[in-house]
Amino acid sequence: MTALHIVPAGPAESAVLSALYESAFGEAWAPDQLAQLLAGPGVFALIGLDDAGVPAGYALGRVAADEAELLSIALLPDHRRRGEGRLLLDALMERSAAAGAATLFLEVAIDNAAALTLYRAAGFREAGRRKGYYKVGTTTVDAIVMKRELAPG
């Protein structure tokens, strides 16, 4: 496993985040939308750079009061299943705790086995369900809401 070098990202990196999102999910999240989101209160992003300094993944989160939410996390396909997703997730949890969050929430598609494995291994537990939360083509997929307590930052 190569270790990612994780760096903070802001609105200026929105095009990089957009490209990573599209490579990971096959759909676009416009750079201007990401820049607006990143300019909002409590929102932050982390980019994982590979050994050559090339962006390989990101994590996007938001902290409000004592709660945080993982908004999105992704790795380029050739960086998956190498422990790098866990590095990004751990960095997001540390950043959230340092900002005062005691609990981190996320939603994950019920059929995303790889993500569910990652989150459960990181100590997340199911807290609820959202029916038809994700649109996949002409159908919908339920989301599992998960949460994890964070160590004080």
pLDDT per residue as tens digits for the range 123-151: 999 999 999 888 877 889 999 999 999 98
Cα(124)–Cα(115) distance, rounded to whole angstroms?
Answer: 11
pLDDT of residue 97: 96
**Mean pLDDT value of segment 70-87:** 85
Q: Which residue would you say has higher pLDDT here, 126 or 1?
A: 126
Q: Of 2-16, 113-127, 129-143, which has the strongest mean pLDDT? A: 113-127
* Fold exhibited by the domain 5-149: Aminopeptidase (3.40.630)
Kindly report the average pLDDT of the chain as a whole number: 90
Give the pTM: 0.90
What are the CA-CA distances from residue 75 to residues 56, 94, 127, 131 (Å)?
6, 19, 25, 26
The verdict on whether 58 is a catalytic residue reads no
**Mean pLDDT value of segment 47-71:** 93
Domain boundaries, the chain: 5-149
Q: For the residues of 72-101, what is the DSSP string, one character each?
A: EEEE-GGGTTSSHHHHHHHHHHHHHHHTT-
In terms of C-beta density within 10 A (0-12 exposed, 13-18 middle, 19 or more buried), how is residue 73 classed? Answer: buried
pLDDT of residue 2: 58
pLDDT of residue 153: 61
The verdict on whether 119 is a catalytic residue reads yes
Which residue of the set 21, 84, 107, 149 is catalytic?
107
Give the model's confidence band at 1: pLDDT under 50 very low, under 70 low, under 90 confident, else very high: very low
Which residue of the set 119, 126, 134, 149 is catalytic?
119
